[in-house]
């Protein structure tokens, strides 16, 4: 077990940490006045948003990628979710498939975020590959 310092749960620190892993990140201001991230890994764009749960005092980051060119059935999405329960596939209101993954940041060291981003990259590529084979 390492004695690494936990990640500071603010959007700028999260962006800097993601950048330090070689992932392109841009901080953007959302319509609500809060900030989010636009990023890309393996050529696949995704967004990340910081949320805070006031009851549990546990900030978390939700990463999401939408695939407007893709088509997926509810059966395909359910099959994905049965195989990869920590990264969720869904179909957005406009019918486009999307993939999301959340990370609770309480006590999380940058090394854990690095490992999570590695898995996110792998699962995004796998999702795109399988989605393209559905066409």
Domain ranges of the chain: 11-134
Residue range 11-134 in CATH 3.30.1460.10: yes
* Nearest-angstrom CA–CA distance, 67 and 97: 6
Q: Which of 18, 21, 37, 20 is nearest to 29 (CA)?
A: 37
Buried b (16+ CB within 10 A) or exposed e, 99-114: bebbbebeebebebbe
What pLDDT is attached to residue 2?
44
**Model confidence pLDDT, tens digit, residues 23-65:** 899 999 888 777 889 999 999 999 998 887 677 677 888 999 9
* 111 Cβ contact list (under 8 Å, min separation 6): 2, 4
Residue 1 has pLDDT above 50, yes or no: no
Mean per-residue pLDDT, 104-127 = 88
State the pLDDT at residue 6.
Answer: 53
Q: Please report the pLDDT score of residue 7 as a whole number.
A: 54
Query: Looking at residues 9-16, what average pLDDT do you find?
Result: 84
Tell me the pLDDT tens digit for each residue of 63-102: 999 999 888 999 999 999 999 988 999 999 888 999 999 9
Predicted pLDDT at 120? 93
What value does the mean pLDDT of the chain take?
86
């Amino acid at each position: 077990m390492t004695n690494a310092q936990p990640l500071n749960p603010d959007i700028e620190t999260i962006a800097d940490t993601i950048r330090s892993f070689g992932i392109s990140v841009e901080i953007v201001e959302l319509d609500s006045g809060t900030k989010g991230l636009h990023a890309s890994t393996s050529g696949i764009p995704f967004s990340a948003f910081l949320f805070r749960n006031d009851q549990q005092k546990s900030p978390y980051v939700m990463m999401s990628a939408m695939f407007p060119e893709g088509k997926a059935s509810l059966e395909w999405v359910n099959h994905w979710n049965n195989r990869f329960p920590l990264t969720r596939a869904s179909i957005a209101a406009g019918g486009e498939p999307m993939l999301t993954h959340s990370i609770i940041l309480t006590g999380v060291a940058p090394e854990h975020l690095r490992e999570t981003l590695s898995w996110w990259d792998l699962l995004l590529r796998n999702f795109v590959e399988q989605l393209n084979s559905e066409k």
